[in-house]
Structures are given as C-alpha cells and as structure tokens.
C-alpha cells in the first residue's frame, strides 16, 4: 500500500492540548494516511530534562492521532535550531516521507524562505548562536525552527507546510511553570517532578568540581573557555538557578548553558559527536495498525541491542539519571 505520509517534529515536554490541536490540524490539512512524530527523548532542544518518559509521550501522541512515533535521542535533540532540525529531518528522511508540518507564527512558507535568504545575506556574529543572530530580526521561536526545517526539507525533496500557532493554548513553558508552582495541569499524572536541573545539579556540581578543566574542555559544546566559568560557579553556588544565572553571558545563553551542562553530565565528547554527526537511524517508540503496516520492510530499530554503541551508552546514562534500573525498550502498540 502506497501511503501518503507526513512528519511532525515535537518535544511534548509536557504533552498539552496545543499538541493535540497540532496533530488534528496536520491530519486535516495534509490528508495524510500515516502521521509520523519524531519526539525528543530524555532531554529537550533547550537542554531541559523531560517531565515525561518516552513511553508516556508515545502513548499520548498515538491516542491523539499519530500513527507512528520515533525517537530523537538527547545528543541530537539538545542542539541549536539548525542542528536540531538537521538531525530530526535526517531521521524522518530515512522513511521517505512526503511532507513535514510545523507550527509557525508567520504561517507562510514563502515568508519563511525569504527570512532564510535574509539570514544568509546578513553578517553573522561568530560569537552568537544561530538563534541569537535570528532574534535580532525579531523572528519568533517557531519560525526560527521553521526556517531550519524548510532548509532541511529542500535537501531531501520533502514538502514543508505550516499551521498557524494558536496562542489560545497554554505553552509548554507556562505549563511547566504553573505545575512547579503547585497548579494542577492537563495530564499531569504523567509528569515526573524530579526530572529537573534542580534535582540533578548536585551530581553535575560534584562532577565539575572533581574534573580538571582539560577534561571538561573535551566535552561537546564546551568552547571558548566556558569550562573555567562553570567550574568556578560550581564552587560558588549550591543551587542550580544561581549557578545557571551566573554562567549566562553574551556568548552563552540560558539554553546554551543547559545544553552544555547536559553534554558534560552525560560525558559526551566532541570527538564522539564528530564521529556521530549524522542521525540516519529510525528508532521506533510506538505505532498503531497503520504505522505498523507502513513500517513493513523498512530498516528500523526497535530493541536496545540494535542501537549503535554510542546511543546505547547515552541511553544507559539517561536511565541511571532517572534513578531507574535499566528497563528494556518497550515499543508501544495502540489499538484504535
């Protein structure tokens, strides 16, 4: 059966009503037979711990109408917009999907392509991240990602389409804030309140204090002497928020500090990321009968032992961080 396919790229940290709207509108707009979501696991694009397990995210996404959910591992998820898009679309392209649909403030592919051209012709400040250079043009977050999705789609012959961002839905950021302020949230039975930097900072702090700066400098995203600043701040500050705010600079945004700390905590080196700088795998997290049919004959990963050694090591470290003993990878099947 030749299915019409569409991909969406998501975090689901946490999964909220705006995500249900995105799934439903994507199906309505594209009329796809199979909707595939690639979802960040363990950590988000901004380097935050995920409040939900991958299994729970998958269950909720399938219930909401996705047919297949695949995983974006933390080393590929916790990246600036350009690399986050690169890795997500690389994985989706292995399934030869027809379209990608994403939320956008502008909601216009032509305008986003024009932004992309302007961005390329603008002098880039080397010390700033891609996001910071774009923010000088007052381009909003979903559009920043959208520009990068479009650029990646062009490489693989995938058609990009957009859905207008609906601000009537509470954002994931607001949901998290209210939840930690003690306000009940949609589906908060699935949230793990211990999956935060506040909880894990003591481990990061000890590691920073016990490691010499030469060792720290080998980890991915540790550049321009940030290792000295992080080590010094670890000596001074016992609370994550104090440490984080003291570490932010013009060069290192809040998100960049969080990502950098993630790579240090997981001990992922620059050499490892250089060696694994493409994500050409499809790691299956769950499917319904349509997704199962679509996967027939395709090369995908469904078991831990099938993961490359690099990703096996990261998965184990993330599970240890979540205070779990190792749990075998379980593919979720949703029976409609």
Answer yes or no: is 23 a known binding residue: no
Rounded Cα distance, 36 and 8, in Å: 6
Answer yes or no: is 20 a known binding residue: yes
In terms of DSSP bridges, do strands 332-333 and 284-287 run parallel, antiparallel, or are they unpaired?
parallel
Answer yes or no: is 107 a known binding residue: no
Do 335 and 297 form a contact (C-beta atoms < 8 A)? no
Answer yes or no: is 42 a known binding residue: no
Q: Where are the alpha helices (DSSP H) in the chain?
A: 17-30, 54-63, 74-77, 81-93, 109-121, 130-135, 141-156, 172-180, 197-210, 213-216, 226-236, 240-247, 254-265, 270-275, 289-295, 309-321
Answer yes or no: is 14 a known binding residue: yes
- 31 secondary structure, DSSP code: -
Which residue in 44, 25, 52 sits closest to 332, CA to CA? Answer: 52
Sheet with 332-333, side-by-side order of all strands: 159-164, 99-104, 5-10, 34-40, 68-72, 284-287, 332-333
Answer yes or no: is 22 a known binding residue: yes
Answer yes or no: is 200 a known binding residue: no
Which residue in 230, 189, 190 sits closest to 208, CA to CA? Answer: 230
Neighbour count for residue 267 (Cβ, 10 Å): 16
Rounded to the nearest 5 degrees, what angle is found at the Cα of 288, between the Cα atoms of 285 and 290?
A: 120
Answer yes or no: is 278 a known binding residue: no
Answer yes or no: is 103 a known binding residue: yes
Answer yes or no: is 13 a known binding residue: yes
Token digits for 21?
A: 């709207």
Answer yes or no: is 336 a known binding residue: no
Answer yes or no: is 17 a known binding residue: yes
Answer yes or no: is 49 a known binding residue: no
Answer yes or no: is 15 a known binding residue: yes
Residues 6+ apart with CB under 8 A from 121: none
The β-bridge partners of 100 are 7, 160
Residues 6+ apart with CB under 8 A from 208: 216, 230, 231, 234, 264
Residues tagged in the binding site annotation = 9-22, 103, 142, 165
Residues tagged in the binding site annotation for ATP = 9-22, 103, 142, 165
């Amino acid at each position: 059966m030749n299915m019409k396919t569409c991909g969406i790229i998501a975090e689901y940290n946490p999964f909220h009503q705006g995500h249900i709207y995105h799934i439903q509108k994507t199906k309505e707009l594209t009329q796809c037979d199979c909707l595939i979501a690639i979802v960040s696991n363990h950590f988000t694009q901004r380097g935050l711990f995920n409040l939900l397990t991958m299994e729970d995210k998958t269950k909720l996404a399938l219930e909401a109408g996705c047919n297949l959910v695949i995983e974006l591992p933390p080393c590929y998820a916790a990246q600036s917009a350009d690399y986050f898009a690169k890795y997500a679309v690389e994985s989706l392209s292995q399934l030869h999907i027809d379209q990608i649909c994403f939320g956008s403030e502008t909601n216009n592919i032509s305008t986003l392509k024009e932004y992309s051209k302007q961005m390329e012709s603008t002098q880039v400040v080397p010390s700033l991240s891609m996001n910071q250079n774009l923010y000088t043009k007052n381009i909003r977050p979903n559009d920043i990602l959208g520009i990068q999705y479009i650029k990646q789609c062009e490489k693989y012959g995938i058609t990009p389409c957009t859905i207008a961002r609906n601000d009537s839905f509470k954002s994931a950021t607001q949901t998290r804030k209210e939840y930690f302020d003690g306000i009940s949230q949609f589906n908060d039975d699935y949230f793990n309140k211990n999956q935060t930097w506040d909880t894990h900072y003591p481990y990061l702090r000890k590691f920073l204090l016990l490691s010499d700066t030469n060792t720290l400098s080998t980890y991915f995203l540790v550049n321009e002497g940030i290792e000295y600043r992080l080590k010094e701040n670890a000596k001074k500050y016992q609370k994550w928020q104090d440490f984080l705010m003291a570490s932010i600079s013009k060069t290192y945004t809040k998100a960049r500090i969080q990502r950098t700390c993630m790579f240090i905590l997981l001990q992922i080196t620059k050499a490892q990321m250089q060696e694994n700088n493409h994500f050409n795998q499809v790691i299956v997290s769950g499917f319904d009968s349509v997704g199962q049919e679509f996967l027939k004959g395709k090369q995908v990963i469904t078991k831990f032992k099938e993961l490359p050694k690099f990703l096996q090591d990261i998965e184990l470290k993330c599970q240890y961080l979540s205070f779990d003993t190792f749990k075998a990878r379980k593919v979720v099947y949703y029976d409609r």
